[in-house]
Structure 1
Amino acid sequence: MSAQVDRQARQLAREAAQWLALQDAGELDAERAAALASWRARSSAHEALWQKAETLRQRFAGVPAPLAVACLDRPDPQRRKLLGQALALGTLAPLAWLGYQQLPMQRWRADLRTATGERRAIQLADGSRLQLNTASAVDLDIREGRHQVRLLEGEIALDSVAPLQVQTSQGRVLATRASFCVRTLAQGCLVSVTEGEVSLRPLQGGALTLQAGQRVLISAGASGALQRFDAQLPGWRQGLLIVDNQPLGDFLRELDRYRPGLVRWDPALERLAVTGTFQLDDSDRILALLAASLPLQVHYRTRYWVALTPRKNIA
């Protein structure tokens, strides 16, 4: 499975699971039911996955309704708690299955993983420092004579103090004493250097060297052109998202990496400009700041389903 197909499958499973959770929570009003019907009609893959989720829910929904009503009417708090957990399996089991089926086994068995919105830092046995950004996974092979990090998904940053190799689906990154980031994208793999220099060995094309303040996208076809960036500007490693006159659509797509659930917005908002420094650990506050500074409104349909619409002018 290619990286792009993998990401598409994961996103589809994520959406199906969220629709299923909304339905089981009784939150599908007429508008949302119509939106679900539209989602199912997008493609045969959408409908097939939904049918699979429905089938699984029925399979796990083993608590008879009369028993559920009788138990819930009793005043025993512990009994209610246990029944609530049992009823929850009717939704949680299909959701877990969907995630399991859509994620390759290597993701589940990764040595280190982070969930959506989570960041993690560790020190490797050779003294190098490794940081995982949101929704990332790596395998480690750190032993005498071999120091390798295999990036399976997402984005990592490394401060290497000894010869170190990062293996990606597009090639290898080699560094001795350098600080750099490697991020998987639909188009390939983006390598950015903040200190020192690194060597790249793409699967296609010749080797090249990156200096501090340079980055490049390597793909199955060939390496892209070298680009400059401000290596001193703080970023996700410091828990920050800093933008200057960025289109709101691009900003929200980046924010969506760090926020569990669905974030949707009216296409009319795409080209609004965003400037500022935002704390990644509080995405609700980021949305509130957007509403305070731009002509838009934030609607929380649930904790994990947020919609942004143009602000209505009130005469």
Structure 2
Amino acid sequence: MSDGTPFAVEAEALDWIIRQRDPAFDDWEGFTEWLELSPGHSAIYDRMAAIDAEPGDLPEPVEEISVARQPVLASRRTWLGGAMAAALVGIIGFTLLDSGATHIETAAGEQRTVALADGSRIEINGGSVIELDEDRPRFARIESGEAMFHVVHREGDPFLVEAGKARLVDMGTAFNVIRRRDGLTVAVSEGLVLYNPQRENVRLDAGFGIEASDAGGPPQVQAIDVFSVGSWRKGQLVYNGTSIAQVAEDLGRTTGLTINVSPDVASLPFRGALLISDDRQRVIDDLTALAGIRAEKQDEGWLLTR
């Protein structure tokens, strides 16, 4: 650990850059923890990485956006299973709306982190759209995609997340939300979340999740492995009976892969862990081997069939 001086932090950043050149490097959790030790670590790392890059690969200048009374939006590089996919550094995807809201959109395969003024943070997976509101500092709306919320507890001031018609009231915890095309998935790794307190009022403690369909019907609560919650941030997707259609959707969002699913395999349950890497064919091979299905290469992407 450094003494916190700029020179020492620069040395640590350079050490991370050198270590990440090794194909066997896998300490992405340690790297994420180092980034989160100080708001300045990310900026120093980006600057050192730019210096280390070839002249033709230098990213555009990074700029921080500050929204009144609300978030400082900290951009992040794109990661595929812990491998640096591209230097997508910048502020693309952040839009300040006339209403005072902040619209954040990530491309498939891109991941970003938003640091809020109250100390909470939102890790956003690829293919996602999040909206924040400067007039509601303890509020976020996930319009589509996936995000991991780390909420700071404030007595009498819960954090509210809206996803479709659902409302999630958080008392200070960590939980993952997926707003799918036809429903919602929530998984809690720490603390407590209330699902639709004005209607179903389902209490989700750590180690529990919920599946809710837009088509109606009661939401399904199930026990989950807390260590698998938000595992996409560590380059891994873990499933226990999830449909192949949802797995394909998750892979597309997290890696940028284009995966179509034939109707005869869409509802098949999938159990297992997929390691996300830059080798796209390997990801597909792992999925088909574990699921007992086939993948046909198409002009763009793959088609999953029996």
TM range (shorter): 0.5 to 0.7
The Cα shift of 1:165 comes to: 1.3
Q: 2:232 aligns with which of 219, 228, 236?
A: 236
- Map of 2:122 onto structure 1: 130
Q: How does 1:4-43 map to 2 (within 5 A)?
A: none
Identity of aligned residues (%): 26
Shift of 1:297: 6.3
Measured after TM superposition, the shift of residue 223 of structure 1 is 4.4
1:198 to 193, 207, 210: 193
Q: Distance in 1 between matches of 2:182 and 2:108?
A: 21
Q: What is the match of residue 281 of structure 2?
A: 284
Matches for 1:136-285 after TM superposition, within 5 Å? 136-142=128-134, 146-162=137-153, 163-201=158-196, 205-218=199-212, 221=216, 223-233=218-228, 235-243=231-239, 251-260=247-256, 262-264=258-260, 275-279=272-276, 282-285=279-282
Deviation at 1:280, TM superposition (A): 5.7
Q: Secondary structure at the match of 2:189?
A: strand
Counterparts of 1:269 and 1:223, CA distance in 2: 25
User: Is the contact between residue 212 and residue 220 of structure 2 (CA under 8 Å) also seen in structure 1?
Assistant: no
Q: CA deviation digits over 1:293-315, x for unaligned, max 9?
A: 7877655443x2334567xxxxx
How far does residue 286 in structure 1 lie from its aligned partner after superposition?
A: 0.4
More strand by percentage: 2
Change (3 A) 1:218 1:261: closer
8 Å Cα contact 2:169/2:197 also seen in 1:
no
Separation in 2, partners of 1:268, 1:295: 13
Deviation at 1:166, TM superposition (A): 0.9
1:173 corresponds to which letter in structure 2? L
Q: Secondary structure at the match of 1:256?
A: helix
Question: In terms of Rg, which structure is larger?
Answer: 1
The TM-score normalised by the length of structure 1 is 0.52
After TM superposition, the structure 1 = structure 2 runs for residues 85-100 of structure 1, keeping only pairs within 5 Å, are none
Are the equivalent residues in 2 in contact too, given 1:193–1:231 (CA < 8 A)?
yes
* Residue identity matched to 1:114: T
Counterpart of 2:178 in 1: which secondary structure?
Answer: strand
By percentage of residues, which structure has more helix?
A: 1
Higher relative contact order (CA 8 A, sep 6+): 2
Distance apart, 1:160 and its partner CA = 0.3
| Deviation of 1:136 (Å) | 0.8
Matched residue SS, 1:165: strand
Q: Deviations over 1:113-149 (max 9, x none)?
A: 1111222222111111101122111111255x74111
Task: Specify the alignment match of 2:74 in structure 1.
Answer: none
**TM-score normalized by structure 2?**
0.53
* Inter-partner Cα distance in structure 2 for 1:185 and 1:265: 16
Distance in 1, Cα, partners of 2:226 & 2:219: 19
Separation in 2, partners of 1:294, 1:138: 32
Q: CA deviation at 1:190?
A: 2.4
Question: Equivalents in 2 of 1:125, 1:150: separation in Å?
Answer: 17
**1:115 counterpart SS class:** coil
Instruction: Find 1:113's aligned residue among 97, 105, 113.
Output: 105
Q: Is the 8 A contact 2:102 2:133 kept in 1?
A: no
Q: Distance in 2 between matches of 1:186 and 1:222?
A: 16
Change (3 A) 1:191 1:299: closer
Instruction: Provide the secondary structure at the position in 1 that maps to 2:281.
Output: helix
- Equivalent pair of 1:142/1:148 in contact (CA under 8 Å): no
**Following the alignment from structure 1 to structure 2, what is the Cα–Cα distance between the partners of residues 306 and 267?**
14
Give the letter for the 2:144 counterpart.
E
Pick which of 114-123 and 213-222 moved more: 213-222
Q: For this pair of structures, how many residues does the alignment match?
A: 201
How far the C-alpha of 1:195 sits from its partner, in A, is: 0.2
In the TM superposition, residue 158 of structure 1 has moved relative to its aligned partner by 0.5
Change (3 A) 1:267 1:119: same
Tell me, in whole angstroms, the C-alpha distance in 1 between the residues paired with 2:147 and 2:166: 15
Q: Contact 2:187/2:209 (CA < 8 Å) preserved in 1?
A: yes
Gaps of 5+ in 1: 1-104, 311-315
Change (3 A) 1:160 1:188: same
8 Å contact from structure 1 (residues 159, 179) kept in 2: yes
**Does the 8 Å contact 1:247/1:274 carry over to 2?**
no
CA–CA distance in structure 1, aligned partners of residues 142 and 262 of structure 2? 34
Q: Give the Cα separation in 2 of the matches to 1:140 and 1:258.
A: 22
Task: From the superposition, tell whether residues 294 and 236 of structure 1 become closer, same or farther in structure 2 (CA, over 3 Å).
Answer: closer
Kept in 1, the 8 Å contact 2:257–2:280? The answer is: no
